[in-house]
Structure 1
Amino acid sequence: MNEFMAGYGEYLSWVIYLALPAALLACFYLFNKKAALSVVPICLAADLLFWGKALFTSHGRGIGALFLIPQLVFVTAAAVLIRTAHKK
């Protein structure tokens, strides 16, 4: 597993950071606009599973907050927009 993370860890982190929220938002937009806000806890759980060890150490906390908080704000805003567009 360490060899895999050493070779592909950077790509996996970008997939989890960008592709997972975009894919989830697209799926909920196409199939279930009413439950679009459930994307936020799914993304948060994926981030905690992948970044959890780094987030809870003193040297990784700042960089984790720098990337993960804006991601969650964007995902929440997009989910709210999807949901409000569905209500109209």
Structure 2
Amino acid sequence: MRIRKAHVLQHRLCEKLPHRLLQEDCGISFLYRTIVEEDLRSGLLREIPLRDFHIRHDYTFLWRKDSIFSDEIRRICLELRSPGE
């Protein structure tokens, strides 16, 4: 049980680290808007609009082995694949 709690704590710290560094004026980052929307509204962080910039990255989907949702999740993954993959 301790290992699981430590893992959750570590995950939360890693998830918040880039956000915290930005708050301390330690650089520029690309983050999901939902993570920083409150700080954007309050003025603690500022968005830098970029022209003609498009970014693409991979997603990883994980689910329990033998889940009743496995077929549905696989269908969604196939829908989200880029053409030509």
Q: Normalized against structure 2, the TM-score is what?
A: 0.34
Higher RCO (C-alpha 8 Å, min separation 6): 1
Higher helix proportion, which one?
1
Q: Normalized against structure 1, the TM-score is what?
A: 0.33
Which has the higher Rg, Structure 1 or Structure 2? 2
